[in-house]
Structure 1
Amino acid sequence: MSHLPQTARFQQHTAPSIANRIRKTLAAATAIAMMATLGACGAAKTSVSGLTHTTFMLSWAPDTNHIGVYVAKHNGYFKQAGLDVDIVAVAQAGAEQSVNNGVADFALSNLTNVSIYSLKGATLKQVLQVQRKPSAIWCSLASNTSITRPRDFDGKTFATFGSSESDAVIKQMIKTDGGKGQFDKVTVGTSTFQTLSSGKADFGGFYATWEGVQADMYGPKLNCFTEPDYGVPGNADSIGIITNEKTIKNNPKLVKAFTQATQKGYEYAYAHPDKAAQILVDEAPEANLKLAFVKRSMHVIVDGQYWGNPKDIASGKLVFGTNDTVSTQQYFDFLAGAGAYTDASDKTVSTAPKASSLVTDRFLAK
Structure 2
Amino acid sequence: MKVSRRRVLGVIGVAATAPLVAACGNRDSGPASVTLMLDWVPNTNHTGLYVAQANGYFAEEDLEVKIVEPGATGAEAAVGSGAADFGVSFQENVTLGRVEGVPIVSVAAVFQHNTSGFAAPLDRGIRRPRDFEGKKYGAWGSASERQVLASLMDCDGGSIDQIEFVDIGMVDPFVAWARGDVDFVWIFQGWTGVEAKLRGVDLRFLGLTELGCVPDYYTPVLITNERMIRERADVVQRWVSAVARGYQFAIDNPAAAAEVLVNSVDGINAELVRASQPWISGKYAEGATRWGEQATSVWDDYSQWMVDHGLQSRLINTAAAMDGSFINNR
Query: Fold-level match, TM-score > 0.5?
Result: yes
Q: Specify every segment of 5 or more residues in structure 2 that has no aligned partner in the other structure, as ranges.
A: 7-13
SS in 2 for 1:334: helix
Q: Residue 319 of structure 1: which of 272, 286, 290 is its match?
A: 290
Match of 1:105 in 2: 85
Give the root-mean-square deviation of aligned CA atoms. 3.0
Provide the TM-score with structure 2 as the length reference.
0.84
C-alpha contact (below 8 Å) 1:263/1:320 kept by paired residues: yes
Q: Residue 143 of structure 1: which of 111, 123, 130 is its match?
A: 123
C-alpha contact (below 8 Å) 1:169/1:232 kept by paired residues: no
Match of 1:72 in 2: 52
Q: Residue 320 of structure 2: which of 311, 336, 357 is its match?
A: 357
| One-letter amino acid of the counterpart of residue 319, structure 2 | S
Match of 1:249 in 2: 230
TM-fit CA distance, 1:45: 6.2
Please tell me whether residue 87 in structure 1 is matched to residue 67 in structure 2. yes
Bigger relative CO (Cα 8 Å, ≥ 6 apart): 2
SS in 1 for 2:325: coil
TM-fit CA distance, 1:72: 0.9
Q: Residue 40 of structure 2: which of 42, 57, 60 is its match?
A: 60
Output aligned runs, 1:296-335, within 5 Å: 296-303=275-282, 305=283, 307-309=284-286, 318-335=289-306
- Quick one: distance in 2 between partners of 1:213 and 1:49? 45
| One-letter amino acid of the counterpart of residue 232, structure 2 | N
- Quick one: distance in 2 between partners of 1:57 and 1:321? 18
C-alpha contact (below 8 Å) 1:155/1:182 kept by paired residues: no
Please tell me whether residue 263 in structure 1 is matched to residue 244 in structure 2. yes
Provide the TM-score with structure 1 as the length reference.
0.76
Q: Residue 149 of structure 2: which of 152, 167, 170 is its match?
A: 170
C-alpha contact (below 8 Å) 2:25/2:232 kept by paired residues: no
Worse-matched range after superposition: 97-106 or 260-269: 97-106
TM-fit CA distance, 1:161: 4.7
| One-letter amino acid of the counterpart of residue 227, structure 1 | L
C-alpha contact (below 8 Å) 1:165/1:335 kept by paired residues: no
C-alpha contact (below 8 Å) 1:186/1:200 kept by paired residues: no
| One-letter amino acid of the counterpart of residue 308, structure 1 | A
Worse-matched range after superposition: 126-135 or 198-207: 198-207
SS in 2 for 1:224: strand
Please tell me whether residue 114 in structure 1 is matched to residue 94 in structure 2. yes
Alpha-carbon distance change, 100 to 167 in structure 1, aligned in 2, over 3 angstroms: closer
TM-fit CA distance, 1:60: 1.9
- Quick one: distance in 2 between partners of 1:51 and 1:181? 50
SS in 1 for 2:95: helix
Please tell me whether residue 277 in structure 1 is matched to residue 258 in structure 2. yes
- Quick one: distance in 1 between partners of 2:323 and 2:101? 18
